[in-house]
A = this chain, B = another copy of it.
Amino acid sequence: MRSIKPTLPKGTRDFNPLVMAKRNHIVSVIEGAFELNGFQQIETPAMENLTTLTGKYGNEGDQLLFKVLNSGDFLLKADRGSLEDEDSARFGRSITEKGLHYDLTVPLARFVVMNRNDIHFPFKRYQIQPVWRADRPQKGRYREFYQCDADIIGSDSLVNEIELLRLFDSIFRDLSLDVEIQINNRKILEGLAIHYEVGGRFTELTIILDKLDKVGIKGVCEELERNDFPTQMIEMFSKDVASGTLEGNKALDIIEEWFNFANIQVGQKGVQEVRELMSAAASDKVKLKLLLARGLDYYTGCIFEIKSMETEFGSLGSGGRYDDLTSLFGLDGVSGVGISFGLDRIYDVMTELDRFPETVDDNADILLVGFDDQCILKSLDYADTIRKAGIKCEVYPDKVKFKKSMKYSDQRGFKYVGIIGEEELKLDVIALKDMSTGDQEELAVSKVIDRLKG
């Protein structure tokens, strides 16, 4: 076989031990809070049938799905006609049936429908898995990244939104990150669209609004103009939203009045939900953001997005209420609401801000070094004893010069090195070297354990 210079697929990454230790720190904070809140873990497969995935994320989302080529002789089912038409989408559909999941929410809806008879509602589940999107890779955006999701299915009580907001708040506090929790409500946006007589173009409107982060308010207004949205609405966006009049917690009254929500029930309901939520969340981090839209098709009520207050980094988390997601799989009347933490972005921000605890990669306790075969074999027995006491212990596998094993110990950051030579073997002791002081002492293995535990 010829040797090739290995590379990684665009937008994917390896995680080395130090990175893993830091990622695991974040996951353990998030997972610990999920568990304390009574969420139960599930996992769903990386691959889902494309019939499950498509049509849930909007057209753009569908195009970002990674599709898996059918196994075996896939050409048997290939649609040759679509080839002649140069229609790669249609041809693609004829040779792929599965795709990698794009988020964890649609798989959850599928799971709930398939397991509806075994689930006790309200179903509080969490899920921590990678997701895949064929997006253009850039800073903070990857093609394979982890989402940490908590959702509550089968209860439309606003108490769930309150609990999830508090969860956002407490987890980011525990991670020592200062964030703003931006909230809005799809019903407010719907009311606004109705007020400007574009209620029928609501989805189109949310897709354009969702680009706010990428193109700014000016870009959004330009695109709305290009698409013939009402001038009045665009002026309101470019003037009042841009100046901040319609942002923040006092804006609810203005919104109600300006958009005549007294006569638009859905808008009224949206304002009322946000008002209740803000009051119960009781956190100065929660802020109304009128143009927050969230690009995913399935949201129907409150929507959330987390922004760092300390650095520009896109969204660190998001979420919202979806009333009809399980309907797409044939189960009506099951509302859900959820939040999602973006592990990779949180990692990037915490790295930039240096917010990891100092002890995060503190994982090497003692290295045992033997001077000949017999000494190494004895080290293996010592190692078993030491590990049974809960101490991380490694045995250097090669007979080496003292200097070489010390170099390895330095690189790996061991606190202690235990040396077993001919003399030690005879006396059944370990020469324990404290790497911070350089002190060395001959000790029985039980005393070594006492020293390391003390």
Indicate whether A175 reaches chain B with its CB closer than 8 angstroms: no
Closest to A396 in B: B122
Indicate whether A235 reaches chain B with its CB closer than 8 angstroms: no
Q: How large is the interface on A (under 10, 10 to 19, 20 to 34, 35 or more residues)?
A: 35 or more
- Chain B residues contacting A408 (CB-CB under 8 Å) are 120-122
Q: A75-B83, A75-B86, A83-B83 are in contact. Are A24 and B41 (CB under 8 A)?
A: yes
**Contact yes or no, B75 A91, CB < 8 A:** yes
* Nearest CB of B to A141, in Å: 14
**Distance A367 CA – B47 CA, assembled complex (angstroms):** 35
Most chain-B Cβ atoms within 10 A of its Cβ — which of A121, A163, A411?
Answer: A163
Indicate whether A227 reaches chain B with its CB closer than 8 angstroms: no
- Chain B residues contacting A402 (CB-CB under 8 Å) are none
Closest to A96 in B: B69
Give per-residue flags for A86-126: 1 if the beta carbon is below 8 A from chain B beta carbons, else 0. 10100110011110100000000011011100101110110
Give per-residue flags for A386-410: 1 if the beta carbon is below 8 A from chain B beta carbons, else 0. 0100111111111100000000100
**Contact yes or no, A20 B42, CB < 8 A:** yes
Indicate whether A311 reaches chain B with its CB closer than 8 angstroms: no
Closest to A5 in B: B330
**Contact yes or no, B380 A120, CB < 8 A:** no
**Distance A159 CA – B192 CA, assembled complex (angstroms):** 71
Q: Which of A302-348 contact B (CB under 8 A)?
A: 327-330
Indicate whether A212 reaches chain B with its CB closer than 8 angstroms: no
**Contact yes or no, B37 A14, CB < 8 A:** no
* Nearest CB of B to A366, in Å: 9
**Contact yes or no, B48 A4, CB < 8 A:** no
- Chain B residues contacting A162 (CB-CB under 8 Å) are 377, 380
Indicate whether A9 reaches chain B with its CB closer than 8 angstroms: yes
- Chain B residues contacting A425 (CB-CB under 8 Å) are none
**Distance A49 CA – B132 CA, assembled complex (angstroms):** 15
**Contact yes or no, B166 A6, CB < 8 A:** no
Give per-residue flags for A42-72: 1 if the beta carbon is below 8 A from chain B beta carbons, else 0. 1111111101100100000000101111011
* Nearest CB of B to A132, in Å: 7
**Contact yes or no, B16 A115, CB < 8 A:** yes
**Contact yes or no, A45 B166, CB < 8 A:** no
Q: Which of A25-48 contact B (CB under 8 A)?
A: 33, 35-38, 40-48
Most chain-B Cβ atoms within 10 A of its Cβ — which of A9, A118, A120?
Answer: A9
The contact of A7 among B41, B49, B364, B396, by CB within 8 Å, is B49
